[in-house]
Structure 1
């Protein structure tokens, strides 16, 4: 995860610890491939659904990767707080819990239109690790042996206090002030082979090394990976330059500091929060009225059309959605109709989503945006844009009194 870029039973316990020590804990970073069985997507996906491929966190939406928990109901997450012999924690588990909850639960409740609830179960005590924090070599590009030792020790230390079979998600929260803790190391770690505990397979854990208070929306971003969502930021090969050239402020899987962190409609389609009733596959010229992506419908009201899709190839499409200053997008820099390209064969971190800048000669909110050139990417009422390579022209014809956007799509141009 990039940092801020300003102008990223005793007998049972003994047996389980022995099993954990014997289990391979060679951990793969969040960019590794975690395969799993195909599970039918929620509802019929429709003709514009790109197929899931074997790349890590593929944005195919025709089926669900069964190696990941599917957030279409309530899921339970345990928060385990880890201290070290070389430092006495200055914050309490309750204070650190409040850094992340209920804010993260509320983010996902709004994003899913109430279809998903993340239920945290924080421990009320520190679990001490067997080694000093400086012994683990914690950093962003972590040595695999030291990282595996950290994970092995953490699970073994928490073992007497946690029944892992009760939980869908595991958060390991390190003492943020310990001398060997590097906040840049926060990420999801996938195991090459699941760790077996309490009859359950632990396939991945979220390792949290954030300072107190933490980076904004960082846990929402990392939890997105637990649900098979990709990194949308660009990591410069030399560690220098802009990280946010692919999507800018749009979507928390790009930057946790973005002004419009609501998940893209394509992500919501993949997760099962949108289905073909809210997704229009554009195969001919037509007008479509799009409800703002972050607008949460009133209780009992339907979600409404949120996403339009134009196929541009067997593994690519252009998505069209409306973004307004409401819900998770309440701090957005600009409002309008956002266009972006999706590729199902591009892996996490490689640019599987790229926002189309419909105002390439201007920028906006340079003092607040993570990437000002894309802050004004959405189209406004009265504007027309021809999508290169898509044989389609987009016109924002109107905005309704309710705040929806009427989009005229002309194909074959």
Structure 2
């Protein structure tokens, strides 16, 4: 986050004069024209030089460049405090108790991130399991997937005004507004993160985004983990057809929940884990110029150890341009990927200059002529994308190609991968 956006952690002593610096009326006025769909924070440069295969962050929304961190977003490390509040409407009587809605998302969401981060992130939920009344009927807010700015602003403005007397937003890094799932105007396709074009000051802290939850009960699997990923500056990886109809999962299929929360292998890509700090530079092999290199890769879902056999690499990267790279990792039925369809060596292309939902990641199919797990996979043609032992994949790049071969899998689970860069 930018300087001054947060001055204390939950539970820390509040400095004199801090507290509710903006009353609801002021917040309402501030929100009238600032609710948007993206953030505009500038780059913050890290004093330490990144590895040569780390793409630079660009102005693309949720850029996958990782040479610097965008401080407009919550950094997912150590303890991150989230608050969940529940909104009812005058045109409906809630049929579901807030405690049921909490259990629908937690501890499942927190457990997902604990596994994905190898224990480096502790997402802690705080909540008061009771309904807070909104002033307008649910239909008055025009809730929809493609929500117009006026109705979206009205909803957030009213929700903040209704909940501010009960919630000290200065205590929290993440805010979830959960609407009554049975209210007639609630559209279950509208769950998303609402970003503010300019931060809004509430209770001495600057709010930059709020997760608005309109899920039916029970909710879609991993939906809140997906939306929380946006709070951590991860992009949508799905492909949205022009008319909204057709296959949304052609870019990455089951791989990574930012593509689909229903995926069989929802663990974040190794590139995402590197960006978020869950993998360090020591866990990444950078491939340089033309030639052949061998790489010993551990399964991505296995937590790296400080030393010993489990302390090895999790990702190999070939930088193929100023804003493009080919990434190689091992996916097996470990951790969040326990239900994957086919494991092996997964290859994908990363573009740091491509915005969220425009294809910043593309899984490269190691078996383009086949598909797998029909009836379970969100996109069967990519369910068997990983290479098995003895298989290869050639990736054309500007000025040459990158050739990846899965040579061997040891009993320990470590894979040996050969990468040949041809000019």
**What is the TM-score of this pair, normalised by structure 1?**
0.93
| Alpha-carbon spacing, 1:370–1:27, altered in 2? closer, same or farther (3 Å) | farther
Structure 1 residues 197-244: Cα deviation after superposition (integer angstroms, max 9, x where no partner): 111000000000001110000001000000110000001011111000
Check conservation: 1:27, 1:189, Cα contact below 8 A: no
Check conservation: 1:25, 1:151, Cα contact below 8 A: no
Check conservation: 1:25, 1:193, Cα contact below 8 A: no
| Superposed counterparts of 1:392-403, under 5 Å | 392-403=402-413
Question: 2:23 & 2:192 partners in 1: Cα distance?
Answer: 25
Check conservation: 2:179, 2:214, Cα contact below 8 A: yes
1:192 and 2:200 are equivalent in the alignment: no
Q: What residue is the counterpart of 2:9 in the other structure?
A: none
1:34 and 2:34 are equivalent in the alignment: no
1:364 and 2:364 are equivalent in the alignment: no
Shift of 1:39: 5.0
| Alpha-carbon spacing, 1:195–1:56, altered in 2? closer, same or farther (3 Å) | same
Check conservation: 2:239, 2:251, Cα contact below 8 A: yes
Question: 1:411 & 1:145 partners in 2: Cα distance?
Answer: 51
Shift of 1:303: 4.3
Q: What residue is the counterpart of 1:410 in the other structure?
A: 420
Structure 1 residues 277-301: Cα deviation after superposition (integer angstroms, max 9, x where no partner): 0010012421111111112357987
Shift of 1:304: 2.5
| Aligned partner of 1:387 among 391, 395, 416 | 395
Question: 1:305 & 1:364 partners in 2: Cα distance?
Answer: 28
Number of aligned residue pairs: give it.
Answer: 400
Question: 1:395 & 1:349 partners in 2: Cα distance?
Answer: 30
| Aligned partner of 2:342 among 334, 340, 343 | 334
Shift of 1:15: 5.7
Question: 2:272 & 2:114 partners in 1: Cα distance?
Answer: 15
Q: What residue is the counterpart of 1:22 in the other structure?
A: 29
Q: What residue is the counterpart of 1:309 in the other structure?
A: 317
**What is the TM-score of this pair, normalised by structure 2?**
0.91
Check conservation: 1:34, 1:190, Cα contact below 8 A: no
Which ranges of structure 1 fall in alignment gaps of 5 or more residues? Answer: 1-11
Q: What residue is the counterpart of 2:299 in the other structure?
A: 292
Shift of 1:26: 3.6
Question: 1:36 & 1:270 partners in 2: Cα distance?
Answer: 17
Question: 1:151 & 1:365 partners in 2: Cα distance?
Answer: 41
Q: What residue is the counterpart of 2:381 in the other structure?
A: 373
Question: 1:115 & 1:15 partners in 2: Cα distance?
Answer: 34
Q: What residue is the counterpart of 1:4 in the other structure?
A: none
Check conservation: 1:35, 1:54, Cα contact below 8 A: no
